[in-house]
Amino acid sequence: MVASLELDILQNGAYTLQQAALLARIHLRTVNYWFDADAARGPAVKKYIPENEDGLVSFVDLIQLLGVHAIRTKHKVSLQRIREAVRKTEDLGITYPFARNSAKTFLLGDRIVFKTDSGDFLEATGKHARAFLMEPIVLPYLKDLTFDDQGLPTEYRPMDNILLAPKRKWGAPVVESCDYTVQSLVAAVQSEGSIEDAADICGVGESEVRAALRYEDYLSGIAA
């Protein structure tokens, strides 16, 4: 079991809840609430890797947080509807719906809609749940993601030259052009006292150090 969990982490990335909350720009208490499997209507985000004593979540879980956050803030969909969608789509064989690509997850007004493998659109919430619908609206947050053949995310680029991917530094944010973690370059600036000296000591361009600092500043603005 331990070996299997270690393999899951190596393949799928690993974050503490606090790290996931920071990277998704969501308050930690909100993240805990969304993951709560004991909630009356089930979790809004169902964990991708097994429960573990360290409380780690995966890259797919991070992307699910981004999805739920986008639906909640940009489209004003209630958490009740989101929990309902997670529950009903799992019954239909669609797992981790808010991490999937634009061929799977859609909005129609405040209703959540999914595309089945047969190409039909299926409403997952409301009194017409499981009824087939037309003219869905694709979720906008998906543009920053790269997906595998199963429609699950493998890479996330929240801004220019910043990459999060399970196969690169276990999912830690990196400056893509030099493969240094954002944390390492920010620490170098703090240690060396300037962008120029940090770039020199790390053997990277000043633009790459600035990219790390921009992302660090971006994360400091918690949005919800």
105: β partners = 114
**Considering the domain boundaries, does residue 217 fall inside one?**
no
**Considering the domain boundaries, does residue 149 fall inside one?**
yes
**Considering the domain boundaries, does residue 184 fall inside one?**
no
> What is the number of structural domains in the chain?
1
**Considering the domain boundaries, does residue 132 fall inside one?**
yes
Q: How far is 202 from 171, CA to CA, in rounded Å?
A: 21
Q: Would the pLDDT of 103 be above 80?
A: no
> Apex CA 112: angle with CA 15 and CA 24, to 5°?
20
What tens digit of pLDDT does each residue of 28-45 get? 999 999 998 766 678 889
The predicted pLDDT at position 11 comes to 76
User: Residue 119: left (phi > 0), alpha (psi -120 to 50), or beta?
Assistant: left
Residue 49: give the domain boundaries: 2-172
**Considering the domain boundaries, does residue 207 fall inside one?**
no
**Considering the domain boundaries, does residue 200 fall inside one?**
no
Which sign, positive or negative, has the C-alpha torsion 73, 103, 87, 171?
A: negative
Query: In this structure, what token pair is assigned to residue 212?
Result: 């790390």
**Considering the domain boundaries, does residue 224 fall inside one?**
no
**Considering the domain boundaries, does residue 178 fall inside one?**
no
**DSSP letter assigned to residue 55:** -
What tens digit of pLDDT does each residue of 122-150 get? 666 655 554 444 334 445 667 789 999 88
Q: CA–CA distance from 134 to each of 85, 97, 158, 164 (Å)?
A: 18, 19, 31, 34
Q: Would the pLDDT of 185 be above 80?
A: yes
